[in-house]
């Protein structure tokens, strides 16, 4: 399912226009991105998903072309965890 299909499905289920559904989806993505990028807290949609920022420590790696050792700097990533209702839906329960 791509974005336009998701927007259409949301609009049908919520009985709103596609423009409104697209605006809500864009606002959700922007809000989650803003909160997670700060790293102070995680975003939880109960039973569905949890988003949180994680820290990756600096580590040693190798250039696959030359075999040369190099240092990979510390960085941040995002952890997304499925909630209980989403897990049940996937199982088919």
- For residue 39, the model assigns a pLDDT of 87
pLDDT tens by residue, 31-80: 999 999 998 899 999 999 999 999 999 999 999 999 999 999 999 999 99
- What's the CA dihedral at 92, 5, 26, 53 to 10 degrees? 40
One domain for residues 27 and 45: no
pLDDT at 93 over 70: no
Note down the domain range covering 5: 1-37
Look up residue 47 and give its DSSP letter.
T
Rounded to an integer, the average pLDDT of 8-34 is: 95
- For residue 40, the model assigns a pLDDT of 87
- For residue 59, the model assigns a pLDDT of 96
pLDDT at 18 over 90: yes
One domain for residues 43 and 88: yes
pLDDT at 85 over 70: yes
Q: Are 62 and 71 in contact (CB under 8 A)?
A: no
Structural domain tally of the chain?
A: 2
Q: Are 93 and 76 in contact (CB under 8 A)?
A: no
One domain for residues 64 and 31: no
One domain for residues 72 and 32: no
**Residues with Cβ within 8 Å of residue 62, at least 6 apart in sequence:** 68, 69, 70
CATH code for position 79: 4.10.520.10
One domain for residues 43 and 84: yes
pTM for the whole structure: 0.76
One domain for residues 33 and 51: no
């Amino acid at each position: 399912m791509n974005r336009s299909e998701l927007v259409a499905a949301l609009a049908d289920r919520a009985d709103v226009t596609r423009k409104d559904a697209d605006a809500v989806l864009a606002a959700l993505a922007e809000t989650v991105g803003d909160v997670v990028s700060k790293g102070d807290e995680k975003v939880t949609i109960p039973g569905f998903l949890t988003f949180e920022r994680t820290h990756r420590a600096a580590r040693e790696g190798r250039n696959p072309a030359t075999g040369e050792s190099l240092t990979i700097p510390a960085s941040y990533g995002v952890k997304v965890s499925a909630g209980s209702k989403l897990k049940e839906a996937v199982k088919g329960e």
